[in-house]
Chain A
Amino acid sequence: MTQASRVKKLTDSVSHIEVSPPRLQWMGHSRQWGTRVKKGEHGLRLGDLNVGIYGEIPQHWEDQSRRPRGAADLPGMPPLPYHLRSKHQLWADSAADLYEEAIQHRWIPATDIPWSELSPLPDDVERAMCQVLTELMQAANAELESITYWQEQMSYGYHEVKQFLAVAALTCARHIDAFRKRCLANGGGLGLESRGRMNRAILESRGGWTEAVVYIYLLRGFHVQNQYRLLLAHAHNAAEREIFANCLADHSRHMSYALDHLKYAITQQASQAAIIQTLLSLGESTLARDIQEPVQRSALAIVFGGGVEGGRQEGMATWRAMVRQSIHDYLDACEWLGIKRNMIQRRLNALLPPDEQLVPTERG
């Protein structure tokens, strides 16, 4: 059917209806007529749109409506519960690019993982893999529950961050999806649920998104990242390799946003660094307890050592090296952020080799 005949068919039955003239009150409100953003080498990206008034990102955005940044206002509208209305509470310059990157890096657990490459593993190794993944599923679950709790409270003035986090939450769900499939596809099942100390710290971070970011990413994030890295190195087949390579790339993107945001928050808010220090002093003990928790620690060592026997020596050695790396990554990030950690919590300090230990605090 041609467009013209389609239109005729559509309008035949309403042709008798009187049409009143338009009022056109919505016209004449564009605040920047003439804006023409062109696509570049990588298409038309969210960040490209920040030209002229559209790129003015205010320090505070008091408007509690859904007015997009740069649109004209309509006064008198009842507010919505947007509680995060200051840039320092959520902003990261990289959010727009990370959003586009996340959209491009979309992988599908159902069809992008070569599931047929899985083959039976010794019972102890299969159990250890399933246990490790059960714990990681819960970590991803706490991450997505925290993101969604905060994201919807973020005001429209900072849509780049809202959009990035919208994708990040689905990314976490995809990790859970892939891990669950891996657990149920190779003769195993799920493991024992997490003891969940850090998950609790994350979900109980209700004072602000920045504080939640401190726990999810700065404190626990490197430990998760290094687990993905080591699981990738110890993958038993192409399916596991694909899963962990994807998770690592996704998680690194979340870490980029987090560190970028924390740096911004610290530069903008005089008290922020001190608050983060306090949070870390309390949180390091919680993280250390989680890291040492016998179930997850042993399961990782068994995977790294290729079985219970290998797990005792070689596996535990790899685990120790991984923990050492995570703590150093964490301390390096603190230094980059300008947060003093020359004294770290006793339990976390004890996880470093003796010659690398810092001055411990007794707290926790």
Chain B
Amino acid sequence: MNGAPDLELDTAWMGRMGEWGTTVRPGKRGLTLEDIRIGGYGELPEESDNMSGRPRGAAERPEAFRIGGYTVRSKREIWLENATFLYEEALQRQWSSATDIPWETIEPLPDDIEEAECALCTFFNEVEFVAGDVPARWVANISPDFFEARNVLLAQVQDEARHMDVFRKRALANGGGLTRVTGATSGFVGGIDLSRDFTEMSSRMHVSGEGAVLSMFRMGELVGQNPAEKRMYRLCAQDEARHVAFGIMHLRYLHATAPDRHEEIEAYLDEAENLSLTGGTNPAGPQAETSEALAILLGGGKQHYDEGFRILLAIRKRQLKEYMQRVKSAGFGERFENGRSPVPGRIAALC
């Protein structure tokens, strides 16, 4: 070829590959990421020095560029024991808001109920993608040596896009439209958005924020006015449970591997218990406008507001109890016994 570069076949690289001779067979759940964690490919470094973005286990090139710029390079800062399970489950349980919701079952509702549903949907449109934006921001900062954990976050980003989407669809499907935003997730210091540490962010977002939303979604049978809404909450709850599980399992790993950070984590939990659980990011929280909308939906109209509000109080109690369970399972349960946490007192006040 005229002027073409000399393109001989090179085979020298065949002697410079990663560990060789790996044969993994699919199991009952197919070929999962857990199945391929074998030999050197399953070994995770405590500290990752991978700055070129190579897949874990690939052979290094000394001349590769340090293009990763990763800031999360310690296993304890990001890891959780069941990342592969959560990722594979996320792929198995994807759904479509276009075709998996029986939209045709939505019938016109009384104005107050429609407006309450739309206020709730507007709120979820506003906050669902906090949990999309923020994990996305972290993904490119995490060493790909911990790609299993990264994959769970990426699946979450997609889940949240779908949540934002399903609630927008509901708001525009039955006459109400979007209402006014609450501003609950603005740029407040101490909020989920602005955390500079991954675990700080995760404890706020996954454990307290999404935990409260999960408890609420699980009451979707009571909140939803028709099969479409009930299904919407059920499917979102399924996804939310994985997001919360990420946070708990990560906290549990950190608890076991980083005793020097216990007190710092306790401080985040203090903040969460005094702010996120009671403030505007919890749709059923005492300071959230959406609590009123929820009470209307739960009671079945403005005229049954008191009745609805009492169901809401029961939901709050449940949120708090489930929160305690989660924190205990992450290893930080002592705070509920030693008087540090205000949560047991709040539960008692609701009894």
Interface residues of A (CB under 8 A from B): 3, 6-7, 10-11, 13-15, 17, 19, 21-27, 29-39, 42-46, 49, 51, 54, 64-68, 70-74, 76-81, 99-100, 103-104, 106, 108-111, 113, 115-116, 124, 127, 130-131, 134, 137-138, 141-142, 144-146, 148-149, 151-152, 156, 159, 162-163, 166-167, 169-170, 173-174, 176-177, 180-181, 183-197, 199-200, 203-204, 292, 294-295, 297-299, 301-302, 308, 311-312, 315-316, 320, 347, 350-351, 353-354, 357
12 of the cross-chain contacts (CB-CB < 8 Å) are A10-B314, A23-B292, A38-B103, A44-B169, A71-B181, A104-B96, A104-B99, A162-B129, A173-B147, A189-B22, A294-B8, A302-B9
Residue pair A19, B31 in contact (C-beta under 8 Å): no
| Top-6 shortest CB links A-B | A43-B98, A110-B30, A193-B54, A111-B30, A29-B180, A166-B161
Residue pair A17, B310 in contact (C-beta under 8 Å): yes
With both beta carbons as reference points, the residue of chain B lying nearest to A7 in the complex is identified as B311
Q: Known contacts A23-B292, A103-B98, A169-B157: does B140 contact A148 (CB below 8 Å)? A: yes
Residue pair A308, B9 in contact (C-beta under 8 Å): yes
Residue pair B58, A44 in contact (C-beta under 8 Å): no
Question: Chain B, interface size: which category?
Answer: 35 or more
Interface residues of B (CB under 8 A from A): 1-5, 7-11, 13-14, 16-26, 29-33, 36, 38, 41, 52-55, 57-61, 63-65, 67-69, 88, 91-92, 94, 96-99, 101, 103-104, 115, 118-119, 122, 125-127, 129-130, 132-134, 136-137, 139-140, 144, 147, 150-151, 154-155, 157-158, 160-162, 164-165, 168-169, 172-183, 185-188, 193, 221-222, 289-290, 292-293, 295-296, 302, 305-307, 309-311, 313-314, 317, 350-351
Which residues of the partner chain B approach A54 to less than 8 Å between Cβ atoms?
Answer: 172, 177-178
Residue pair B26, A116 in contact (C-beta under 8 Å): yes
Which of A10, A45, A99, A295 is the one whose CB lies under 8 Å from B10?
Answer: A295
Residue pair A144, B176 in contact (C-beta under 8 Å): no
Which residues of the partner chain A approach B67 to less than 8 Å between Cβ atoms?
Answer: 142, 196, 199-200, 203-204
Q: Known contacts A163-B164, A170-B158: does B169 contact A106 (CB below 8 Å)? A: no
Shortest distance between the CB of B305 and any CB in chain A (Å): 6
Q: Known contacts A27-B115, A73-B181: does B55 contact A14 (CB below 8 Å)? A: no
Q: How far apart are the CA atoms of A42 and B100 in the complex, in Å? A: 11
Residue pair A192, B16 in contact (C-beta under 8 Å): yes
Q: Known contacts A22-B292, A145-B139: does B18 contact A191 (CB below 8 Å)? A: yes
Which of A111, A137, A186, A193 is the one whose CB lies under 8 Å from B64?
Answer: A193
Residue pair B61, A79 in contact (C-beta under 8 Å): no
With both beta carbons as reference points, the residue of chain A lying nearest to B127 in the complex is identified as A66
Q: How far apart are the CA atoms of A185 and B182 in the complex, in Å? A: 50
Residue pair A110, B122 in contact (C-beta under 8 Å): no
Residue pair B58, A191 in contact (C-beta under 8 Å): yes
With both beta carbons as reference points, the residue of chain A lying nearest to B137 in the complex is identified as A152
Q: How far apart are the CA atoms of A354 and B67 in the complex, in Å? A: 35
Residue pair B177, A31 in contact (C-beta under 8 Å): yes
Residue pair B7, A31 in contact (C-beta under 8 Å): no
Which of B21, B104, B350 is the one whose CB lies under 8 Å from A14?
Answer: B350
Which of B31, B33, B57, B129 is the one whose CB lies under 8 Å from A190?
Answer: B57
Which of B4, B11, B127, B180 is the one whose CB lies under 8 Å from A308?
Answer: B11
Residue pair B139, A22 in contact (C-beta under 8 Å): no
Residue pair B21, A196 in contact (C-beta under 8 Å): no
Residue pair A148, B179 in contact (C-beta under 8 Å): no
Which of B18, B151, B160, B175 is the one whose CB lies under 8 Å from A189?
Answer: B18
Residue pair B19, A189 in contact (C-beta under 8 Å): yes
Shortest distance between the CB of A283 and any CB in chain B (Å): 15
Shortest distance between the CB of B299 and any CB in chain A (Å): 10
Which of A68, A76, A80, A189 is the one whose CB lies under 8 Å from B122?
Answer: A68
Q: How far apart are the CA atoms of A180 and B32 in the complex, in Å? A: 11
Residue pair A65, B181 in contact (C-beta under 8 Å): yes
